Structure 1
Amino acid sequence: MDERLLTGTMKINKANHLEIGGIDTISLVEKYGTPLYVYDISQVKHKAQMFKKAFQDRKIKAQVAYASKAFSCLAIYQLMAKEEMSLDVVSGGELFTAIQADYPSKKIHFHGNNKSDAEIIAALDYNIGCFVVDNFYELEKLNQYTKQRKQNMSILLRVTPGVEAHTHEYITTGQTDSKFGFDLNNGQAQQALQLAMQMPYIDVMGLHCHIGSQIFETEGFSLAIDKLVMQSKEWHEAMGFDLRVLNVGGGFGIRYTSEDEPLPIEDYINNLIDEVQSVTTKVQLPMPEIWIEPGRSLVGDAGITLYQVGSQKIIPDVRNYLAIDGGMTDNIRPALYDAKYTGVLANRVEDAVEETYSIAGKCCESGDMLIWDLPLPKADDKDVLAVFSTGAYGYAMASNYNRIPRPPVIFVENGKDFLAIKRESYADLMRLERSLY
């Protein structure tokens, strides 16, 4: 196997089992069953510290906000608060969870392209740090409610700068044709800024952009920074706009398979800092705060999913299918994005490879395939499959399709395990339902 996939505390122990957080994964399976999400919490903490340290080493004023759509729950919010991270939420549910976690209100940033009245009011009630305003509809709603309440609120304007990252078309968000943000090239961003600067209780701190996800280069960020800072210079001269915050989003890539080559965290951050310093100096603007929004890069490769191997279907000279007890209900990304993963038999990690299997989920869908053509030892139903880098958008996008309960989430650290989210039961699936007769 590719040793680079053993991130954080993951290792192969003397029993030839995969170990994470100082705990044998097979003992976790015996205790909690499968499917099972497992998070290496020390790695999450380390990543958070690395992002913050990269700015601190350069003495740059910054905010690092966890983009919690990657994985949201009470425990992960509590962890991020303890690590003194800011927090991005994109819905009333994420905001409610943050409130339940007693998250510092001023560190919460509210994203989303269609915030409801109830969500806006809840965020104003909690007096969050800022709204990332996505459209004219939201801007007018904020103006209305802040005037009614005589409540000041800071905002960033989300701008689509016309920069496309080198990524999958379904997860690019910075280009002109996007459901997100005010377009820079057609004048909508300038119009929004002019309106916002006239609103009595709205403080436009700066601009936000997000150019995509799973990005392995820095050129896209540099292009976006150049465009936004150059435009800010024009707006400063034309209408007195001060760019105090430049939020360049997230999208920093992680390794899912051996083909992925993510940059070190400090490389991403140093490039951002260098580019902002260079262009602001060039146009003679003060250096703004730099905000970023890592999500996947904080939790993605800190998580694994454990499955019990089940049935097999061997089609001679065609393919060997190996079924597991999960699939698209706990990881929709292969079906949704054609996302690539890899894995090992957690109970026989270093056994010799004998077969190539395609890993099939148990849902009644031909598209429920988790991994195609995975080299493994000859497997049977006593084996446990560990799939790497499932910490982002696994549980967050899980469903009850085919009435399959969602798996539990376990945090592991220093030989201890913590049940962060319980396994759903069949009774849980019926909890909100009412009998017709």
Structure 2
Amino acid sequence: MTFAPHVWPETAAIIAGRLFIGGCDTVALAERFGTPLYLLDEATLRGAMRRYRTAFAAAYPGPTRVHYAGKALLNTALAQIVAQEGLGLDVVSATELLVAKRAGMPLEHVHLHGNAKSDLELERAIAWRVGAIVVDNLDELARLRALTAHLALPQGVLLRVAPAIEADTHAHIATGSATAKFGLPLDSLDQAVAQTLTAPGLRWLGFHAHIGSQLFALDQVTATVEVLVALAARSRDRLGVIPEELSPGGGLGVPYTADQPATDIEHYAHIVSAAMCRACAQHALPLPRLTVEPGRSIVARAGVALYRVIGRKGERWLHIDGGMADNIRPALYGARYSAMLANRANVSASTKLDVGGRYCESGDVLLREIELPLAEPGDVLAVATAGAYTLSMASNYNLVPRPALVLVGDGKVCLLQRRESEEDVLARDQFLDM
């Protein structure tokens, strides 16, 4: 397969026939840490975070916040990097919130998302004073009103809107339609705002929307901004209040294959900012704080997955030691990736084949019809753009331990998550006692 630099980390290099990431020999890393193994390139990761902050600060004349969407990938060290780079953090569970606190993340820069939050999650967010709880529905709002009634200092909330925009993406990652499971329908927004305003323990901050992930058609993002600003104007006209914050979410697409364009963070910031300025001027509204929530476009390109080739089966199949338990995206979404043999990175592709995972499912095919050199057992297969929605959705299917994760940069390596052991996998099991 042709090496396409824009789908690999910024530091990717082929030296003496081997793939190097962050100045580290990936084959040596596979030997040291075992496979499957996930790498995060520190330069690519931090660079994307800085580009987002700089781009929105330059493009938008009002206040901005960039929140990393932790659902793409989250662990303690990554949350530390998010804090170091001056980003906020979006979480969707009590444990993700615990990771944020454990990492020293300023909790006033944390937003709690989710369409079915438990009382534990709401109570923890309230007790730890997160910056905002993003309310998904009226039932949640009623519970939140009760849980915050005693507060002397009100809890900030954003109301999530279902903006009735059909995103041009896979149905499983589209979230903005009128019938999506996420967000308040447009016809219930006045009621939600009024109920928030009359709750002594709540402080209404504004509106949030997210129409989906892996978005390339930015006119849909522009339409989302226009809906949010129109709702802000409606709240002013009907209820006499103006939101201080509007968030059109995240979802900027990234290339996984050579034919997809490189991610342009600066263009995205310009388009979103211009749309917000234009819409606010049209409705005679002051510019709100603009909050965006990138996840995939920060971490995906920084990640590379390494597998060991176990064997071949005829001319069609190449079998590896990982698959759908560490990367469910191909089975779930039909996702495609770019790959190379890390130990023979300068050898031209000579065959087209399918790369099958080790798990007992016919759908466990990591790569379909990919061009690779003729591989041998023991070769190391490197898969690009593996940072987002891989380890975050990993499982122990077939009771296989999950892979390790390392951070690489300037020739150094730091273990972020150790490989699971069989003892870890079986730690919850109890012997029958009846």
Worse-superposed segment, 262-271 or 62-71? 262-271
Work out whether 1:407 is the aligned partner of 2:415: no
Aligned structure 1 segments of 4 or more residues deviating by more than 6 angstroms: none
State which of 359, 383, 386 in structure 1 corresponds to 2:382: 386
Aligned to 1:51: 52
Once the two structures are TM-superposed, the CA of residue 262 in structure 1 deviates from its matched residue by 4.4
**By how many angstroms is 1:271 displaced?**
0.5
1:144 corresponds, among 143, 146, 153, to: 146
Work out whether residues 175 and 212 of structure 2, in 8 Å CA contact, stay in contact via their aligned partners in 1: yes
Aligned partner of 1:268 in structure 2 is 268
Corresponding residue for residue 155 of structure 1 = 157
Residue in structure 1 matched with residue 193 of structure 2 by the alignment:
193
Q: How many residues align?
A: 430
Q: CA RMSD in A?
A: 1.1
Contact 2:395/2:402, CA 8 A, preserved across alignment: yes
CA contact (8 A) 2:9 2:21 kept: no
Secondary structure of residue in 1 paired with 2:346: coil
**Pairwise CA distance, 1:148:** 2.7
The equivalent of 2:299 in structure 1 is: 299
Q: Which residue of 2 aligns with 1:329?
A: 325
8 Å Cα contact 2:255/2:263 also seen in 1: no
Secondary structure of 1:160's match?
Answer: coil
Counterpart of 1:248 in 2: which secondary structure? strand
| Structure 1 counterpart of 2:83 | 81
Q: Deviations over 1:245-298 (max 9, x none)?
A: 110100001111123224410101101110110111111000111100000011
Structure 1 CA distance, aligned partners of 2:119 and 2:234?
Answer: 34
**8 A contact 1:253–1:262 mirrored in 2:** no
Gaps of 5+ in 1: none
Partner of 2:70: 68
Aligned residue in 1 for 2:414:
418
Q: Deviations over 1:43-66 (max 9, x none)?
A: 111100000001222343111000
- Alpha-carbon distance between aligned partners in 2 of 1:359 and 1:156, rounded to the nearest angstrom: 44
Matched AA of 1:48? M
Task: State the distance in 2 between where 1:334 and 1:30 align.
Answer: 26
Matched, 1:428 2:394: no
Deviations 1:118-139 (A, max 9, x none): 1111111111111011111211
Query: Among the aligned pairs, what percent are the same residue?
Result: 39
After the TM superposition, which of the residue ranges 413-422 and 348-357 deviates more from structure 2?
A: 348-357
**One-letter code of the match for 2:396?**
N
Aligned to 2:213: 213
Counterpart amino acid of 2:17?
N
Which residue in 1 is equivalent to 2:39?
A: 38
Aligned counterpart for 2:373 among listed residues 372, 377, 400: 377
SS in structure 2 of the partner of residue 267 of structure 1: helix
2:352 counterpart (349, 352, 356): 356
Q: Secondary structure at the match of 2:68?
A: strand
Partner of 1:172: 174
Partner of 1:340: 336
CA distance in 2, matches of 1:258, 1:124: 45
* CA–CA separation in structure 1 for the residues paired with 2:160 and 2:409: 37
Q: Which residue of 1 aligns with 2:233?
A: 233
- Residue 217 of structure 1 and its aligned partner are, at CA, apart by 2.3
Task: Look up the SS of the partner of 2:89 in the other structure.
Answer: strand
Measured in 1, the distance between the counterparts of 2:175 and 2:220 equals 12
Quick check: 17-26 or 148-157, which moved more? Answer: 148-157
Q: Which residue of 2 aligns with 1:282?
A: 282
Amino acid at match of 2:129: N
State the shift of 1:244 in Å.
Answer: 1.1
TM-fit CA distance, 1:212: 0.8
* Matched position secondary structure for 1:203: strand
- Structure 2 CA distance, aligned partners of 1:146 and 1:5? 46
Helix, strand or coil for the counterpart of 2:316?
strand
Q: CA deviation at 1:151?
A: 3.8
Q: What amino acid is aligned across from residue 158 of structure 2 in structure 1?
A: L
Higher mean alpha-carbon deviation, 257-266 vs 88-97, is at 257-266
| Counterpart contact for 1:163–1:211, Cα < 8 Å | yes
Residue 115 of structure 2: which of 96, 109, 113 is its match?
113
Cα deviation, residue 363, structure 1: 0.3
